[in-house]
């Protein structure tokens, strides 16, 4: 089945450690996104990529890094510079047509807890 | 700046009632809006979308209304069921057309 796979589902990290969250899609979508969700909050955009080897910062990119070496993969690294990394991380993809991005298809999320 | 908000963080209804979830947006130039449903611990799921050249769009048991004059979006759910209990988010496309900007969400609780 086509979809978006995020891993791991749960992750624990000690302060000062970098951690990488995986996101893979087999929908043949050009655009991919990372959002962060905190309790009682909406989704805030971290980074997005409209095409391979290109990505842009979202609203809260500080302390995060991404790469887009393959169309189907968009890993997110949460670095030690991120002050408050404990959150629920959501990856999404979309078809990006001439009119702009449309419906986002989301993965099931990765919950990161910093101990 | 771009921001999307919802009027009420929680909404409680009885099974069988109609639910209305509201959302206010700030960017008058936004051309695309979308509603998502998120169940606990899961990723958001698409419900319905609407473009700015429309005022209303209907799906199965759901209707989205767009009032561009007051920059207001609403989601109506007919005959609400316990399975509709979730957090509902509205979102608008950003000015560059490259991403969606989400509101904070309304938690809908349906009691039997």
Work out the pLDDT band at A100, boundaries 50, 70, 90.
confident
pLDDT at B1: 38
Closest-CA residue to B21 (of B32, B13, B11)? B11
Distance, CA of A51 to CA of A66 (rounded, Å) = 13
pLDDT at B95: 85
In chain A, residues 20-59 whose CB comes closer than 8 Å to chain B:
31, 33, 35, 40-45, 48, 50, 56, 58
Residue B84 main-chain phi, psi, to 5 deg: -80, -10
Backbone dihedral region for residue A79 (phi beyond 0: left; psi -120 to 50: alpha; all else: beta): beta
Using the Cβ of A99 and the Cβ atoms of chain B, whether some distance falls under 8 Å is answered with yes
| C-alpha torsion B90→A5→A54→B32, nearest 10 | -20
Query: How does pLDDT run across A35-69, given as a tens digit for each residue?
Result: 999 987 889 999 999 999 999 999 999 999 999 99
Contact flag B99-A90 (C-beta cutoff 8 Å): no
Q: Pairing mode, if any, of strands B19-25 and B4-6?
A: antiparallel
Closest-CA residue to A46 (of A5, A15, A88)? A88
pLDDT at A1: 63
Higher pLDDT, B3 or A79: A79
Q: pLDDT tens track of chain B, all 112 residues?
A: 345 665 678 999 999 999 999 999 988 899 999 999 999 989 999 999 999 999 999 999 999 999 999 999 999 999 999 999 999 999 999 888 888 999 889 999 999 9
Angle at B101 between CA A107 and CA A62, to 5 degrees: 80
Query: How does pLDDT run across A5-30, given as a tens digit for each residue?
Result: 999 999 999 998 999 999 999 999 99
Contact flag B41-A109 (C-beta cutoff 8 Å): yes
Distance, CA of A8 to CA of A5 (rounded, Å) = 9
**Mean pLDDT within A82-110:** 89
Cβ neighbors of B26 (< 8 A, separation 6 or more) are B1, B2, B3, B4, B5, B71
Q: How are strands ordered across the β-sheet holding A19-25? A: A4-7, A19-25, A76-78, A64-66
Chain A partners of B93 at a C-beta cutoff of 8 Å?
100-101
Helix (H, G, I), strand (E, B) or coil at B83: helix
pLDDT at B7: 62
């Amino acid at each position: 089945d086509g979809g978006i796979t995020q891993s791991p589902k749960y992750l624990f990290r000690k302060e000062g450690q970098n951690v990488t969250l995986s996101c893979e899609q087999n929908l043949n979508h050009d655009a991919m996104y990372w959002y962060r969700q905190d309790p009682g909050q909406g989704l805030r955009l971290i980074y997005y990529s409209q095409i391979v080897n290109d990505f842009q910062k979202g609203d809260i990119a500080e302390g995060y890094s991404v790469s887009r070496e393959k169309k189907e993969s968009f890993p997110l690294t949460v670095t030690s510079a991120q002050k408050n990394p404990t959150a629920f991380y959501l990856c999404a993809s979309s078809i990006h047509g001439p009119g702009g991005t449309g419906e986002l298809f989301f993965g099931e999320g990765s919950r990161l807890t910093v101990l | 700046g771009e921001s999307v908000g919802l009027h009420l963080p929680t909404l409680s209804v009885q099974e069988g009632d109609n639910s209305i979830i509201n959302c206010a947006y700030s960017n008058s130039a936004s051309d695309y809006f979308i509603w998502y449903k998120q169940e606990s611990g899961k990723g958001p799921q698409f419900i319905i979308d609407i473009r700015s050249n429309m005022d209303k769009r209907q799906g199965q048991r759901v209707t989205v209304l767009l009032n561009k004059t007051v920059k207001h979006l609403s989601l109506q759910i007919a005959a609400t069921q316990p399975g509709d209990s979730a957090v509902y988010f509205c979102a608008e496309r950003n000015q560059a057309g490259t991403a969606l900007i989400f509101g904070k969400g309304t938690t809908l609780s349906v009691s039997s």
